[in-house]
Chain A
Amino acid sequence: MGTFQIDFGENRHSKIVGIDLGTTNSLVAWMDLTGPRIMEDPEGQKIVPSIVSLTSKGALIAGTPARELLLTKPDRTVYSVKRLMGRGVADVQEELKLFPFHIAEDSESVIKLNLGGRTFTPPEISAAVLRQLKDNAETALGEPVGQAVITVPAYFNDAQRQATKDAGRLAGREVLRLVNEPTAAALAYGLDKRKEGIIAVYDFGGGTFDISILRLHEGIFEVLATNGDTHLGGDDIDNLLLRIALEDLQTEWGEDLSGDAEGVQRLRRSVIRAKEELSFVPQTKIEFAYKGKSYERAIDRELFDRLIAPVVERTLGPCRACLADAQLAPEKIDEVVLVGGSTRIPLVRAAVERLFKAKPHTELNPDEVVALGAAVQAGILSGDVEDKLLLDVTPLSLGIETMGGVVSKLIHRNSTIPASATEAFTTAVDGQRNVLIHVLQGERELVKDCRSLARFDLKDIAPMPAGMARIEVRFLIDANGILNVTARDARTGQEHSVEVKPSYGLNEEQVEAMIRESFDKAEEDLRERQVREARVEADNILAATEKAKTSDAWTNLDAGERSAVEAAILDLRTVYNSSDHRAINEKTEALNHATQKLAETMMNTAVRGALKGTKVD
């Protein structure tokens, strides 16, 4: 568009917000003069449930209103979509058994969700949540917010990170940085007051588990190692309770509720309530009433602990691996920070305390600490916070496919990012024009056991004998943990074109197309709203006029005046069903004008009537 880019320094003062885009709940925060603060919506709510629903009018809505629709319109409503970000259908088969995702037929490397007959990718769903947060932030701040820091689980791979970034773009924001959730929590915790030391952040959220070990040194937060499981969270605990309740219902009610989406949702709420209560009281009840029947089951903490012990145990493996990678004995950990709602569970706290031999910090609300940290990172990026710096790592090793389906590692896990590696490639046959590079993430030796990330095609290689070409490919993981690949002809020094084919997730063109479509949709939505508003106005005046025609005032008008009104009514009715809101408004105005005399007469009659009334009395 513009030819010149001149920096007037306007950006310097625009606000950057920090967003915790969670599996279950999302929050937005920013740095004010006193420190990071969570923003509230106009009703004073901080938490925006990560639930999205397609309304009957075709708009995506997110948050609390969508949560209500989860019960009444389960086929048009989706939650926990973070579990699907950057994944293919084959990856989420386990998820599909437990979550009521409606996967569209043609999903493969990109999952498409079916909501009320339309399909949406997970980034589009997440974008709806981000838009809601953006609205809340803009209302609270009274100014537009274009840039954001968004948090992701530390153990998210490249595709999951890219999908999150895409969601931000689809929501019309520039994602300045993706920050790992446990690292954000460390920033927020005020542990920076402690100048030196090793801390562990245990982050057990709704759908993901992360463990990060950091060294703090004069405002530098250096991540030494991270580990986790992007398929492990409070949801899994809910599902254990849900299964028990469903079995009970099978016995007690003699019916299988698992196929009834609304019933399952309501039951899920009941078990979550019981789960949450058990963090504070030794025993409680799962209470559930549905379609005239009711169910009740006592559950105490002992039973609950036995039930969830395997889930808690699954978090300890990554913790031990993380300690090993950081080359630290558990005793070396000075402090432990707990993040995520699931860390309210006493069994979880006890397990963490036992492993790290340290009493965990719980001063900050585990639901808010990540968003607060994201706001601190936003402050670092805006330059408002100068004394802190995060040095994060890549959670997974990056490698390329070599002969025999073996992965050759280029950048090892827990390398501080940005990190890079350069490899030289050549041709295998005379005159070969393309070289295909398959990039993978993971710790295993074989291609089949690692996660395919993308295929990069080095194109237009000048034809020459085999082995003569020399193309240097630079793999660079940026500060967001996302891979960038550039290639250079080592002989000419020229940049070489690289075509990227992501294995999972959307390619650049698809994202662009979605952004365009969302703009088109936004216009369409606006037009539709204007038409609807115009018709409401028209309805009002038509109804008022029809009523007036039954009054004395109507008969007092002369024939010319009456026919003018009739003509104006007809005109308005003619354009009423068109989609041109201007025409409707124009004819509404015309009718308003034509009925001026009628209205005045009626008013006078009414006043006279009222005066007459007083006289009688």
Chain B
Amino acid sequence: MLLLMPTLSQNFFEFFGLDRKLIVDTDALQERFYELSRQWHPDRFSRKSAAEQTQALEATAILNDGYRTLRDPVKRAEYLLKEEGFPIGEQRSKDVPPELLEEVFELNMMLEEIKSGDDSSRPQLETAREKFAGMRAGIDTQLQSLFAKYDASESRSETAKQALHEIRGVLNRRRYIENLIRDVNKALQNGNLSN
């Protein structure tokens, strides 16, 4: 007997039996993930036929991929954007958000200095890191309210599209800032090592 298993064609929301909403109860998601793992994990099928084993492997791969995507607010939003036909351009994330131009310019100077072994800009870099982390936290709050806006709107309505459009913009900004934080962390770490 073959179990009724999810297929590749299902999207992650359907797979977990969730509505296509951006705010997700992650505790409930985790419970569901464990429950489905108990059912479909390949370990449960090692005495079954080859066909069932393959099916279990495929189903669990989707289960894991889906859980990874849905439990993380940013990945979840990116996934829904893609599903709704709002692909996130790779190029866009490299554009400096205009309001950050000046700060990014200064930051790059500091990064260059610390790379060349000049450690004097370390305190400034640390301040910059805190500042960007603060920005990221602000963006996350902003995302939450946009998520709520999307969830409250009718599916595929103009309001929904408008919300997704805004979310895409905010996500690109977030990714940009995330990369800045990563660069600063890396520079500070390397500086530590050379000390």
Contacts and interface: CB of A to CB of B under 8 A. Distances in A.
Contact of A479 (B43, B49, B62): B43
Which of A7, A177, A377, A389 has the most B CB atoms < 10 Å from its CB?
A389
A381 B43 contact: yes
A390 B61 contact: no
B57 A389 contact: no
A615 interface: no
Contacts of A217: 34
Given A7-B49, A420-B62, A218 B34 contact: yes
A575 interface: no
Main secondary structure of the interface of B (DSSP, over half): helix
Contact of B61 (A220, A389, A476): A476
Contacts of A7: 49
A391 B37 CA distance: 8
Nearest to A479: B42
Interface stretch (B64-72, B125-133, B146-154): B64-72
A417 B34 contact: no
A164 interface: no
A1 B47 CA distance: 22
Interface residues of B, number: 19
A279 interface: no
Contacts, number: 57
Interface string A171-196: 00000110000000000000000000
Contacts of B68: 415-416, 419
Give the contact-size bracket for chain A. Answer: 20 to 34
Contacts of B34: 217-218, 220, 222
Contact of A381 (B46, B49, B57, B65): B46
A12 B64 contact: no
A176 B53 CA distance: 12
A420 B67 CA distance: 12
B172 interface: no
A417 B43 contact: no
A530 B49 CA distance: 41
A405 interface: no
A418 B59 CA distance: 9
Nearest to A147: B46
Given A12-B47, A176-B46, A389 B38 contact: yes
Interface of A: 7, 11-12, 176-177, 217-218, 220, 222, 377, 380-383, 389-391, 415-421, 476, 478-479
11 contacts: A7-B49, A177-B43, A377-B43, A381-B43, A381-B46, A383-B47, A389-B37, A418-B42, A418-B61, A419-B68, A478-B57
Given A177-B43, A419-B68, A420-B65, 10 more contacts: A381-B46, A389-B41, A416-B64, A418-B42, A418-B60, A418-B61, A476-B57, A479-B43, A479-B57, A479-B60
Interface of B: 34, 37-38, 41-44, 46-47, 49, 57-58, 60-62, 64-65, 67-68
